[in-house]
Structure 1
């Protein structure tokens, strides 16, 4: 073999090895990217498994049987556990005179020849009361009397029944109110309501009759609920939230608009802007809207927004628990809680604003933590050029949200009428979630929400659910505005 042939052969081997190395490098790079993607997926799945109602926006119902251990964000106060000095407790008390009195002589006195004499001179050593309910059924018979001939005019006359007595046999307002209260407020199904009422009152009240009672009650509240809606539109502060439910096996959304005086609930097949427009409060609302920072709320730029800090605390807690390297999250939790503490102390002192020192301190600390968070979470560098915005990830997305909506996050310390959280809306929606979670028809869902809007408003005015429903059935639902 000549020298040229050897060189040529060696060159071919070098080219072959170079090609193999390039192929192996490409494989290694692909596997490295795959490993990085798999590690990212594993991290996301671990984070998903660690999410619960305490460190994310997931509802408590999603926790299942494995309830998360309570983790209070409040710092120890140094006070003893339990009620503090001066706290007025509550206990079971007798508010009316007893209907029946039973006396008990010492058992050792039984059979004594002086028993009657001693019983007459015995005094009360101690009293104990048993409070019970005695169920009775009251049947009122209305009789229309007829006169065969009038002595004055010579015609036949007959007495008229009251306007609310329309059938030969019907149920009274008390029983109707109880049936509606059990089914709607008590979240007892129509069938079980029938079983309970039939067993307690020994009245064979049909399931269809109970459904009709609920329907009539809801129909009587249409104008009243419309007035509640108008009250919310004109209010200075409104709490807004939404939650999913099932209507005819499909996902619908219950939208809530409420404050400390009124509750308005409506339903829509859409969660976002289309649902909010359909429910009709936000399009005409001019006050301060407290919400959970859901993107659709920002489609209303002409109103002032306040972000629920309780939602932020849960998200920050999730980052702190699942990403120990994110030091800024814990510091931001401390900042929000300190802001709340300082405001609460100012409110106790009768003030309606903070000092310049505190405003300056909180403003500076807020910006410093945002800058720290951005440094800890830089945008990922990618070699490939793709159209559109780069994927930020949940952590950086939260950082940018905190930065962009700083004024809305901190509004509660600048306007003392704005609360720290959106718990008002969540409490008003929680009444809905007590039901089985589904409705057979849209009409049934709307009837339910009408009654719950009315009952929720009545409760805020100091009236109990049974009293409110009874007023609705008797034709006086507007008593809540008096």
Structure 2
């Protein structure tokens, strides 16, 4: 929704910028001399009086496989008890030859966060590390990780139930040759993604969060969300602005749309200015003024779009068109459009859910469809967990590594502080 600013692309004047920085001592130092000095017999004498004029750093990575051998030691006769004493392998060492946790975490991260298919993950690991890891092994690693994050996702779901507000959205994806629906519920700290064959109310109920929640649900006015009367509703302002912009561009005679756009943006700015001043609510006179202006614009909208006349013998509901349907929606849901201005903790838009669910589209664009429903569900479990971990200050790879090590609940450590 941003308009062109007229500025040139790139960093603006006065912008400090960012650059690569070396945070540790270099592993290697190479001196670069003048070509005439390379084989000069007086070189050592000159080097004693030389000085470093400029330093540049090259940051690179060395892919190296680290193999640890675990030996089980047996003492044939204990000098104290006279019995044989044999050690035991660590719990995570279960096979004669197996992959370590760091390699497993990398494989899972490439397939989920990196959106790389199983075959390409196999190619990358085999080519970079010369590790003969099979596609089936990578699939099993992802499945094990998905199982280990279920407890953390259950915590996220419980937290969302009691949250002041939550964002809802849904998007389609292909799994097992059929279109399925990914449902997302999230806020600033927690994310839950859920796969279902249906897009509507049945799937939302089976997700098992909204119907047990309070607070406010922010959404794009998709009809099934209105079935939940146990929550307040806030309609996404960004979606409304996009629809209004379409009307302004495609229907120039609709003067009310531009006025309503200005109303929404001014109300949003009024809230932001009040928050900047440390206020927790808009003055009642301000809210009343915007409320009266809202009603005035709606009256003008209906005047510009009178109800279509019913033709003789016509049955059923008269077709209203997109413009009139939007006007009806804005008129019927005035409280849900403006709730963000009455409750400062309620966001103006549903962008949080849009961002949290976007990964499913990236995955399908890069890797194609999911071969199985179980594979899609495992992917969503891991991405729910990773999204929540990132919101708690962890990097995506660190989160995956913690899950592989069986320590997924550690991402909530700061919640208990």
Q: Match of 2:217, SS?
A: strand
Q: Which residue of 2 aligns with 1:72?
A: 2
- Please state whether the residue corresponding to 2:145 is helix, strand or coil: helix
Partner of 2:376: 445
Alignment counterpart, residue 75 of structure 2, candidates 147, 151, 154: 147
Report the equivalent of 2:127: 199
Which secondary structure does the structure 2 equivalent of 1:242 belong to? Answer: strand
Q: Relative to structure 1, is the Cα distance of residues 270 and 78 closer, same or farther in structure 2, using a 3 angstrom cutoff? A: same
TM-score (norm 1): 0.81
How big is the shift at 1:122? Answer: 1.2
- Per the alignment, in what secondary structure is the counterpart of residue 267 of structure 1? strand
Whether the 8 Å contact between 1:105 and 1:119 is mirrored in structure 2 is no
Equivalent residue for 1:168?
A: 96
Q: Paired residue for 1:338?
A: 266
Distance 2:99 2:16 in 1: 42
**More displaced 10-residue stretch of structure 1: 312-321 or 337-346:** 337-346
1:263 Cα deviation after fit? 0.6
Correspondence 1:281 to 2:209 = yes
The correspondence for 1:255, drawn from 176, 179, 183, is 183
Q: Does the aligned pair in 2 maintain the 1:289–1:306 contact within 8 Å?
A: yes
CA deviation after TM superposition for structure 1 residue 81, in Å:
8.5
Give 1:363 deviation, angstroms. 1.3
Contact map agreement 2:213 2:230 (CA 8 A) in 1: no
Partner of 1:351: 279
Aligned residue number for residue 164 of structure 2: 236
Instruction: Give the Cα–Cα distance (whole angstroms) in 2 for the partners of residues 166 and 200 of structure 1.
Output: 26
Offset of 1:385 from its aligned partner? 3.6
CA contact (8 A) 2:149 2:381 kept: yes
Aligned with 2:405 (options 452, 466, 474)? 474
Superposition deviation, residue 339 in structure 1: 1.4
Once residues 96 and 150 of structure 2 are traced to their aligned partners in structure 1, the CA distance between those partners, rounded to angstroms, is: 28
- CA shift, 1:113, in A, is 4.6
Question: Corresponding residue for 1:322?
Answer: 250
Deviations 1:55-110 (A, max 9, x none): xxxxxxxxxxxxxxxx6258x6999995475x664321111111111111233444
Distance in 2 of aligned mates of 1:319 and 1:240: 25
Q: Which runs of 5+ in 2 are unaligned?
A: none
- Shift, 1:174, TM fit: 0.3
Cα offset, 1:159, TM superposition: 1.5
89 and 350 in structure 1: CA distance in 2 versus 1, 3 angstrom threshold: farther
Structure number with higher relative contact order (C-alpha < 8 Å, ≥ 6 residues apart) = 2
- Paired with 2:101 and 2:155, the residues of 1 have a C-alpha distance of 24
Larger radius of gyration: 1
CA contact (8 A) 1:181 1:466 kept: yes
Structure 1 residues 82 and 367: alpha-carbon distance in aligned structure 2, compared to 1, 3 A threshold: farther
Deviations 1:329-372 (A, max 9, x none): 11211211111122222222222222344323211221111111
Aligned-residue offset at 1:421? 0.8
Is the contact made by 2:254 and 2:304 (CA closer than 8 Å) also made in structure 1? yes
Residue 410 (str. 1) matches residue 338 (str. 2): yes
Check the 8 A contact 1:244/1:252 in 2, yes or no.
yes
1:459 and 2:390 are equivalent in the alignment: yes
**Equivalent in the alignment of 1:266:** 194
Query: Number of aligned pairs?
Result: 410
Q: CA deviation at 1:268?
A: 0.8
- CA distance in 1 between counterparts of 2:134 and 2:39 reads 55
Contact 2:11 2:17 (8 Å CA) reproduced: no
Determine whether 1:218 maps to 2:146.
yes
Q: 1:300 aligns with which of 203, 208, 228?
A: 228
C-alpha distance in 1, partners of 2:7/2:59? 40
- Measured in 2, the distance between the counterparts of 1:148 and 1:244 equals 63
**Runs of 4+ deviating beyond 4 Å:** 76-85, 110-113
Moved more, 418-427 or 145-154: 145-154
Distance 1:232 1:84, change over 3 A: farther
TM-score by length of 2: 0.93
Q: What do residues 204-239 of structure 1 show as CA deviations (whole Å, max 9, x unaligned)?
A: 011111001001111111222111111111111101
Deviation per residue, 1:122-147 (Å, 9 max, x gap): 11111111111111111110111123
Whether 2:66 is the aligned partner of 1:138: answer yes
| Residue number in structure 2 paired with 1:121 | 49
Q: What corresponds to 1:98 in structure 2?
A: 26
